[in-house]
Amino acid sequence: MNVSVRSSIAPAVIGGFVLGGTLLVVAAVVLFGNLRLFSPTISASVVFTGSVAGLAIGAPVTFRGVNVGSVVDITIEFDAKTHTAYIPVQIILEPDHVRIAKDGRSGPARLSTMIERGLRAELHTQSVVTGQSDIDLDFDAAVPATLHPDMAKFLEIPTRQSPMDKIENAITNLPLRELADNANATLKSLRSLSGKLESDVPSLIASVKSTSDRASGAINTMVHTVDDLQGKLTITLAAITTLATTGTRVLDQRSVELHTLLVSANQGILQAGDVVGNLKGLTSNRAAARVNIESALRDLAASAAALRGLTNDVEHNPQLLLTGRRP
């Protein structure tokens, strides 16, 4: 009796355990895994032309650090015509995490619209220590959209260079050979200059020393000359001071005499003015002295005429001095 009961209960218990375990596994996958049974996802492609070191399936896809999806597939395709290798990466995005606001309302973002507005993907290194990488999305309309329709299985998000790629490309494009040649030429020039300096510097130092000695001698001579000139200038200044003092004293002494002379000269000028006035009075038309003078001058003129006539007669006839003039 007991045995039959046990055999009838055991299958039910085992079935319950199996069903419970299956439910637990499904719940764990749904809750902790990447399987999302009730949320829609969008598949997209990102085609890289360079290295994707550190990127693996399951790596997160972020938008400015916010997780919006994950990597589900990584493949390699080789173009025989251009001999170029491409790495298409398939990702899944959760559009519910990104919403576009418009007129006070918001709705799910469309991936094609975001790509038209400049959405770009770049390979981002999560940790330098572990070397793990992820894909980061951001808007950068300045980067042209380069698409690969033959390789992308889904809507393609264009890529842009990461900062590390830019640095690597800049270093790769550096003209290292030219820089090395220029460095070698510079070193050769420095060696040549060093050799010339070693040969020319001693003579240059000797020339500088000789010039310095001559300059020192000239400076000493100038110092002595300046000292002598200073002494002579002191003596000259003393003499000029003495002369100025003597001149001042003489001027002081002669100032009284000059004043007296000026007064006498002024008096003489006044007396001369009086004499001139008197002469004007004597020579005026109504003055009696002028009439007498004019009469005397007429008599003198007559006497002179008579004497001139006598002189002419004597010259023609000298005997007149002895016999006299006959009536």
What pLDDT tens digit does each residue of the chain (327 aa) get?
A: 444 444 445 566 666 666 677 777 666 554 544 444 445 788 999 999 888 888 999 999 998 888 989 999 999 988 888 888 899 999 998 876 666 555 445 455 678 888 888 999 998 888 778 888 899 999 988 888 888 888 888 899 999 887 776 676 667 667 777 877 888 888 888 888 877 777 777 777 888 888 888 888 888 888 888 888 888 888 988 888 888 888 788 777 777 777 787 888 788 888 877 777 776 666 666 666 667 777 778 878 877 777 777 777 767 776 666 665 655
Strand partners, 88: 47
Please state whether 64 falls in left (phi above 0), alpha (psi between -120 and 50) or beta: left
* CA proximity to 139, closest of 162, 115, 163, 156: 115
Rounded Cα–Cα distance for residues 47 and 120 (Å): 11
Rounded Cα–Cα distance for residues 250 and 240 (Å): 15
> Residue 15 has what pLDDT?
66
Q: What is the torsional sign of CA 220, 223, 227, 229?
A: positive
> Residue 6 has what pLDDT?
44
DSSP helix/strand/coil, 126: coil
Whether 76 and 87 have beta carbons less than 8 Å apart is answered as: yes
Sequence length of the chain is: 327
Q: Which residue has the tokens 């070698």?
A: 184
Would you give the distance in Å from CA 246 to the centre of its chain? 66
Q: What angle do CA 240, 243, 248 make, to 5 degrees?
A: 125
Paired tokens of 124: 């981002």
Which residue blocks in the chain are alpha helix, DSSP H? Answer: 2-32, 111-116, 163-172, 176-282, 288-316, 320-323
Rounded Cα–Cα distance for residues 62 and 98 (Å): 11
> Residue 58 has what pLDDT?
92
Could you give the count of Cα atoms lying within 13 Å of 167 in the half-sphere of its Cβ? 3
* CA proximity to 161, closest of 174, 150, 151, 146: 146
* Secondary structure letter of residue 175 according to DSSP: -
The pairs formed by 97-104 with CB atoms below 8 angstroms and a separation of 24 or more are 97/66, 97/67, 97/68, 98/63, 98/68
Rounded Cα–Cα distance for residues 263 and 325 (Å): 65
Q: What is the torsional sign of CA 261, 264, 266, 272?
A: negative
Strand partners, 99: 108
> Residue 4 has what pLDDT?
41
Q: For 131-169, what is the HEC assignment?
A: CCEEEEEEECCCCCCCCCCCCCCCEECCECCCHHHHHHH
Domain boundaries, the chain: 1-33, 39-173
Whether 135 and 121 have beta carbons less than 8 Å apart is answered as: yes
> Residue 5 has what pLDDT?
41
Would you give the distance in Å from CA 133 to the centre of its chain? 45
